[in-house]
């Protein structure tokens, strides 16, 4: 009888160990899911930031083009004003 009780106790201890391992695996899985969700959110934010940077670069290029055009027009006006007294 004592041997049977010892075997039952050993089986119960094995079962408790199995539960502890299963709980640890489940906790690890949840942790991995949370990290994956955070990585997806970061990737989305990075994509949005990249798109905004591209837009800003395009706007900067447009602004530079406009400034050059204004400078060219201003130079033409100055030339006209310099030549006006000669008429």
pLDDT tens, 2-50? Answer: 888 888 888 888 888 888 999 999 999 999 999 999 999 999 999 999 9
| The pLDDT value given to residue 87 | 64
pLDDT tens, 61-85? Answer: 999 999 999 999 999 999 999 988 7
How would DSSP label each residue in the chain? -HHHHHHHHHHHHHHHHHHHHHHHHHHHHHHHHHHHHHHHHHHHHHHHHHHHHHHHHHHHHHHHHHHHHHHHHHHHHHHHHHHGGG-
Q: Provide the whole-model pTM.
A: 0.59
């Amino acid at each position: 009888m004592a041997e049977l009780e010892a075997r039952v106790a050993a089986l119960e201890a094995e079962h408790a160990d199995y539960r502890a391992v299963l709980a640890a695996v489940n906790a690890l899985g949840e942790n991995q899911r949370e990290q994956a969700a955070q990585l997806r959110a970061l990737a989305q934010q990075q994509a949005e930031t990249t798109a905004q940077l591209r837009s800003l670069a395009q706007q900067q290029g447009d602004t530079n083009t406009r400034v050059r055009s204004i400078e060219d027009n201003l130079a033409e006006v100055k030339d006209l004003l310099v030549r006006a007294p000669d008429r």
